[in-house]
Structure 1
Amino acid sequence: MASRTRLLAIVTALLAALAATLLGPAAAHAGAVGATGTVRDGASQPVYSYADAVRETVWVDTGLDGDGNGRTDRVAADIVRPREPATTGRRIPVIMDASPYYSCCGRGNESQLKTYDAQGRPAGFPLFYDNYFVPRGYAVVLVDLSGTNRSDGCVDVGGPADITSARAVVDWLNGRATGYSARTGGSAVAPGWADGSVGMIGKSWDGTIANGVAATGVPGLKTVVPISAISSWYDYYRSDGAPLYSGTPANLAGAVESSATRARCTAVQKRLAAGSPANGNWTAMWQQRDYVASAASVRASVFLVHGMQDLNVRDVQFSQWWSALAQAGVERRIWLSQTGHVDPFDFRRGAWVDTLHAWFDHYLLGVDNGVQNGPVADVERTPDQWTQDRTWPAPGTVTSTLGLRPGALTTAAGSGTAGFTDDPARDENAWAADADRSTPDKTVFGTGPLTAPLRVSGGGSITLTATPSTRSARLSAVLVDLGPATVRDYQAAGEGITTLAGRSCWGDSTAGDSACYLDTAADTAQVGATVFSRGWADLGHYAGLDRSLALTPGTAYPITFDLAGTDHVVPAGHRLALIVAGTDHGLIDPPSTRPAVRLDLARSSLRLPLVGGPGPLPQQAAPPTGAELPVLTTGPAGTAARPETFR
């Protein structure tokens, strides 16, 4: 029989358990929360009530008058924060997502929008951040960028208004800006509940804003988590002068502006169109939207996520940003998936939530959980199979110069000539499928079967000396792994994921905001060749991006342009190929002419970041031979999937 002391302990424990059941987590843990916050055992715990959270909107004065109505613009910051900390005088950090998409297009795989109750208070927030993190002691703030949803001003697509409208909220949270209880008039609202620590997160345009705000060096911004984000808007619309899209930022602004602001923003749209000329020149407008140039100002840590097959926000965006952050000594981490333009919540959900939880706990709550000491890079090798590295590019990476010879990619110097005729109907899939067959629209430089794996880790570049037959020419360069593989089907509708019927829950729910999301799985394809890095250029910009020059037919022009960042292993037995051609159908727009282009291979070369150097490559490589190989395609043969939306 148990002793009286043990019986008393059992009864006490049962009563405590009953109290937790009846009163709910916030009441059950109130005493502990008051003493130590939400952190237990090295992690924040869900001890606050999500149902009872404060839901409010504050309109923050940006100091700008973008719409020219004579009043400074106010942007709407919708807030969900736990009620309990303020009752004990505890201040809390903020997770913030500033977006133009909260009323027009939605966020996440299910395109969720913000919703409001009858009094105009926030009721439903897109994504899981509020459901998961508010009970753990964070406030979640979703900001409508200038000119969108319930904010004043005009959309200027990554420019001063976009960035200032988000930065103003960081300033308000740190007592440096004024917030109001209404869009016009209203009383001043102070963030007495906030401790000034802010982490920004977001995918696509949202993550781009996080990059841009970080590049201002604003105090109080402790970390940013840009997902599939832009680092320079020029490189979203142009690639070394070659147009990636036929539209301008004005089209994008028009797609997200609220009806309340549109009529006053025509002047802004005209400036956006004028600042992005069709000739691909670098202008002052693009310079304003180049965050890479200000990477040295970044004070926040950066957790960067990108799909290595993102043909919307292309991979040069992450690789150039990463390199600039490295030069500035910024603390950083990177995840690289096989997907296209996809959020990690939809391709690696459990690991993502756990890692993001630890990241925010460390950088916003100050938890010593060691997340900053873990692997710097996670890379998806095959669908759902990941490897890690302590640095990125991977340890032992050596930038190696390879020579080009007719049909061959070699460690020796280049020699000879090669050529192609631009065919705007052909694309990289068609080129790769025909890698072992001579076609007039491309030229292929390849190796024989590799005797050991060859890993490319980082961004490369190519120098070509090209002689066109007409006054304009476009150049494409793609790296191809020739050999069978199972990959995520990044050109399908889900860009590497398929959405399932079942749901899983990540946090607490209310009647107006569910924490349960449709599950996903990898959408895979069997391929015979994999394009894993790309670069494009307009030969008319051989002398620089400031001006486009008419070419003289028959004259040789040297040009160097980047190949996008990647991390790919070409297995032993596979072959590495570089394909050089003209218009990459669906990924760049064609020139005004149809040039034949001759390449001087003695004055051309390829530079690749190779782990361990070019050891597996032969000095004299035979041209690729073998049967025609199938590659991943969608739609009619030879047609690439072109992204239609940025979000």
Structure 2
Amino acid sequence: MRIRTDFPRRVVVDDVWIPTRDGTRLHARIWRPVDAEVDPVPALLEYLPYRKDDWTAVRDAQRHPWYAGHGYASVRVDLRGSGSSEGVMVDEYTEVELADGVDVVHWLAEQPWCTGAVGMFGISWGGFNSLQIAALRPEPLKAVVTACSTDDRYDNDVHYIGGAVLGIDMPAWAGTMQAFTARPPDPAVVGERWREMWKERLDAAEPFLATWLSHQERDAYWCHGSVCQDYASVDAAVLAVGGWADPYRDTVLRLVENLPGPVRGIVGPWAHRYPDIELPPGPAIGFLQETLRWWDQWLKGRDTGIMDEPLLRVYLQDGVGPATAYPRREGRWVGVDAPPSTRRVIPLSGLGTSALAEPDGTVVVRTPQHTGVDAGRFFPFGNPSDLPPDQRAEDGRSVCFDSAPLAEPLPVLGRPAITLRMSCDVPRANVVARLCDVAPDGSSTLVSRGVLNLMKRHGRDRATPWPPDQVEDVRIDLTATGYVLPAGHRLRLAVSTTYWPWVWPHGEEATLRIDTAGSALRLPLCEDGAPDGQRVTFDGIVFDEPEQAAPLEHRPGTGGDGPERMVTHVVDTGEWTVAVDPNYGGTRVFPDGLHYTERARETYRIRADDPLSATASSEWHIDLSRGEWRASIHTVTEMTATYDDFVVETLLETSDSDGVVAKREWRHRIPRTSA
């Protein structure tokens, strides 16, 4: 990592209030060249609910001053009802949030230090709303850099996957946001009214989880903010960035294929992180320098050559043994000038199987409920226990189809898919597919996976029960990957009916019967001189080394008091428990004396023989203090289900130096319409 302090332009920092159309004010921090009012510059906006004064302060210091030093006004704004901004926050990506964002874009463009051109950037939430605000077409917004984001709020986010409820992140993220939205504004910013503003937030608090579970199909709620509903609405230039270890990587491929305006994509080996941050899996790249090429091209009108790059630059990872973290993934950068397309079709009947065929030639799949405990984290953040460990135990709980040892390396690039000709004995069921790299020693490395809620096989917008024992063809799309299976290894397809805690089980166990003769695996391959005319560039794709501004001077606080991830099994009851510390790293002591501490634990329990035993809980403790001032937040979110309903119980407790500020409890019962 190279730390820069010698920027072309000297930087000044201002904290300001930005008014919105209804008079609510958003708090912002602006880094800009000191002479920008004489020599105006374009503005770059990062717009988040995560608190610029503490939670993102370390990350903000790495990039905003860097952009300002290179001739931009780099602006960090807290969403309405978050950080020190006024108002309340009631959900993700609301119409109010997006309208506020449009107001901010126009306000920035009108400032005397701004040329009138604005760009937006962000990772995750900030990447989401950058695309969503671009779809509203505020005139000054000319370019976007969106990292680790989605164009599909329903089927490629923390709520649903393949039409199935995400057991691992739907309740956990709801619990996280319950705690995050309950944090008070900073008295050092808003003064004596901090407690009044905090009380307003607490009075407006409602559990997000109940809302999300009330929309189990793709309806108007999810279509709002999903750019995939109308790609043509985005005419800003978009640089889309993702990582093979991040759950949003498919979005990059969809955006470069569907956006009508200028677009380029980059996918590296990374987790849910900006690509200049040196955390596993690496290698990191000079991401700030690369984005500067994008901004200069579209906000300053300079030809930086970035549009001469291939449509997609992707990191093709070498095959490796299983590990929960890789400091560096070996591989190479390649460029492709069209989205990867599926070309090789492998019939399942041509693969060896771990299951005995039935008399009619079908293969039976009925897996225990704890299949999936070795799935790893849904959102890898670069932590030691993020990635899936050796998949041998998971493979043993699944039905596997293996190739012969490969005679030559197999470079997979894009989204694999499987088609299954199958029947099911119950109306509601899930099917899960995993693609693994099996080494000669038997170790199994997860390459890709996919999920399908069979109730959504005819469309995510409807619920279609399976007629018992009727045979149908279904397609399961797996997540995109860039991975080279080595010669001598086997390709394994593992199929299961369960995947806890990633996927919430339906209310009864299911048995699938697969006709292997009518089923196939479809692989997208990365080959030079491919028959469909796709050009692949194997040389000349290079990036600068990572570079950032000087780090924020702060002290890390004490970490969690237990393992980051622990799986336990009670043999006599058959109960399996996955306990997780999300380890977001927010515990710090800041230069202004603010002590910020967070402790969280997610717990997932299920019995191997009972889908209705599934329980997911998330508990948070957050403490803030400076001198005599203190504020504490404690939340508990627990989700269970009967055959007919989801049951959500939520607790919110807050206190300050004078005692309890609020205590609220909710209990919601939501009918299971299709999940």
Q: How does 1:442-457 map onto structure 2 within 5 Å? A: 442-457=398-413
**CA spacing shift, 1:262–1:157, aligned 2, 3 Å:** farther
Higher helix share: 1
**CA spacing shift, 1:372–1:563, aligned 2, 3 Å:** same
**CA spacing shift, 1:484–1:55, aligned 2, 3 Å:** farther
Q: Report if the CA contact (8 A) 2:235-2:260 is conserved.
A: no
**CA spacing shift, 1:279–1:150, aligned 2, 3 Å:** closer
Aligned AA (1:598): R
CA distance in 1, matches of 2:348, 2:432: 15
Identity of aligned residues (%): 25
**CA spacing shift, 1:457–1:579, aligned 2, 3 Å:** same
CA shift at 1:556, angstroms?
3.3
TM-score (norm 2): 0.65
CA distance in 2, matches of 1:325, 1:262: 44
Q: Report if the CA contact (8 A) 1:408-1:446 is conserved.
A: yes
Segment drifting more, 333-342 vs 530-539? 333-342
Counterpart residue number, 1:276:
212
Residue 512 of structure 2 is aligned to residue 572 of structure 1: no
**Matching residue within 82, 85, 90 for 1:148:** 82
Counterpart residue number, 1:581:
496
Q: Report if the CA contact (8 A) 1:146-1:155 is conserved.
A: no
Counterpart residue number, 1:243:
165
**CA spacing shift, 1:172–1:615, aligned 2, 3 Å:** closer
Residue 567 of structure 2 is aligned to residue 606 of structure 1: no
Q: Report if the CA contact (8 A) 1:248-1:273 is conserved.
A: no
Q: Report if the CA contact (8 A) 2:119-2:143 is conserved.
A: yes
Give structure 2 stretches of 5+ with no counterpart: 185-196, 319-327, 354-359, 376-387, 532-563, 569-575, 586-675
Q: Report if the CA contact (8 A) 2:428-2:466 is conserved.
A: yes
CA shift at 1:278, angstroms?
6.1
CA shift at 1:305, angstroms?
2.2
CA distance in 2, matches of 1:211, 1:289: 8
Aligned AA (1:338): P
Match of 1:534, SS state, is: strand
Residue 290 of structure 2 is aligned to residue 290 of structure 1: no
Deviation sequence 1:7-60 (CA, Å, 0-9, x none): xxxxxxxxxxxxxxxxxx99xxxxxxxxxxxxxxxxxx823222xx15131323
Q: Report if the CA contact (8 A) 1:378-1:386 is conserved.
A: no
Higher strand share: 2
Match of 1:276, SS state, is: helix
TM-score (norm 1): 0.67
Residue 176 of structure 2 is aligned to residue 227 of structure 1: no
Aligned AA (1:140): S
Give the total of aligned pairs: 493
Q: How does 1:313-332 map onto structure 2 within 5 Å? A: 314=247, 317-332=248-263
Counterpart residue number, 2:287:
352
Aligned AA (2:18): W
Larger Rg: 1
Aligned AA (1:460): P
Aligned AA (1:365): K
Counterpart residue number, 2:669:
none
**Matching residue within 422, 432, 435 for 2:367:** 422
Counterpart residue number, 1:254:
178
Q: How does 1:156-555 map onto structure 2 within 5 Å? A: 156-175=91-110, 191-235=111-155, 236=157, 237-245=159-167, 246-247=170-171, 251=175, 253-257=177-181, 258-259=183-184, 260=197, 263=200, 269=206, 273=209, 275-277=211-213, 280-310=216-246, 314=247, 317-347=248-278, 348-349=283-284, 351-375=286-310, 376-379=312-315, 381-382=317-318, 383=328, 385-391=330-336, 397-405=341-349, 407-408=351-352, 416-427=361-372, 429=374, 439=396, 441-483=397-439, 528-555=443-470
**CA spacing shift, 1:481–1:394, aligned 2, 3 Å:** farther
CA shift at 1:104, angstroms?
8.7
Aligned AA (1:302): V
CA shift at 1:243, angstroms?
0.9
Q: Report if the CA contact (8 A) 1:400-1:608 is conserved.
A: yes
Aligned AA (2:347): G
Give structure 1 stretches of 5+ with no counterpart: 1-24, 27-44, 64-70, 114-124, 176-190, 410-414, 486-526, 617-632
CA distance in 2, matches of 1:454, 1:200: 38
CA shift at 1:276, angstroms?
2.5
Deviation sequence 1:275-329 (CA, Å, 0-9, x none): 533683222211113122232222222222222122xxx1xx3324532442333
Deviation sequence 1:100-119 (CA, Å, 0-9, x none): 10159723xxxx36xxxxxx
Aligned AA (2:27): A
Q: Report if the CA contact (8 A) 1:58-1:77 is conserved.
A: yes
Aligned AA (1:327): N
CA distance in 2, matches of 1:284, 1:645: 34
**CA spacing shift, 1:370–1:406, aligned 2, 3 Å:** closer
Deviation sequence 1:140-166 (CA, Å, 0-9, x none): 110111221122242421232232222
Residue 15 of structure 2 is aligned to residue 59 of structure 1: no
